[in-house]
Structure 1
Amino acid sequence: MAGRRVRVLGIDPGLTRCGVGVVDVAADRSATLVHVGVVRSPADARIEQRLAAIAAGIRVVLEAHRPDVLAVERVFAQNNRNTVMGTAQASGIALLLAAEHGIPAATHTPTEVKAAITGYGNADKRQVQTMVARVLRLDALPTPADAADALALALCHAWRGGGPQAPAQGPLTPAQRAWADAERLARR
Structure 2
Amino acid sequence: MRILGLDPSLSCTGWGVIEKDGSRLRHVANGQVKTDARAPLAARLAQLADAVAAVAAAHCPDQAAVEEVFVNDNAQSTLKLAQARGACLAALGQAGLAVSEYAPRLVKKSLVGTGAADKAQVQAMLRVLLPGATIAGADAADALAVAITHCAFAR
Q: 1:138 aligns with which of 127, 132, 136?
A: 132
1:24 aligns with 2:19: yes
Q: Which has the larger radius of gyration?
A: 1
| Matched position secondary structure for 1:152 | helix
Residues 40, 53 of structure 1: 8 Å contact kept: no
* 1:76 Cα deviation from its structure 2 partner: 2.5
Distance 1:125 1:49, change over 3 A: same
Larger strand percent: 2
Question: Which one is further off, 13-22 or 129-138?
Answer: 129-138
Moved over 4 A (4+): none
Aligned to 1:116: 110
Give the unaligned 5+ runs of structure 2.
none
TM-score, length-scaled by structure 2: 0.95
* Superposed CA RMSD: 1.2
* 1:139 Cα deviation from its structure 2 partner: 5.9
In 2, Cα distance between equivalents of 1:81 and 1:44: 20
Aligned to 1:60: 54
Count of paired positions? 155
1:107-165 alpha-carbon deviations (Å, 9 max, x no partner): 1000000011111111000000111121011265x3421010000000000121x2xxx
In 2, Cα distance between equivalents of 1:16 and 1:139: 24
Q: 1:105 aligns with which of 99, 102, 120?
A: 99
TM-score, length-scaled by structure 1: 0.79
| Matched position secondary structure for 1:87 | helix
Give the unaligned 5+ runs of structure 1.
1-5, 167-188
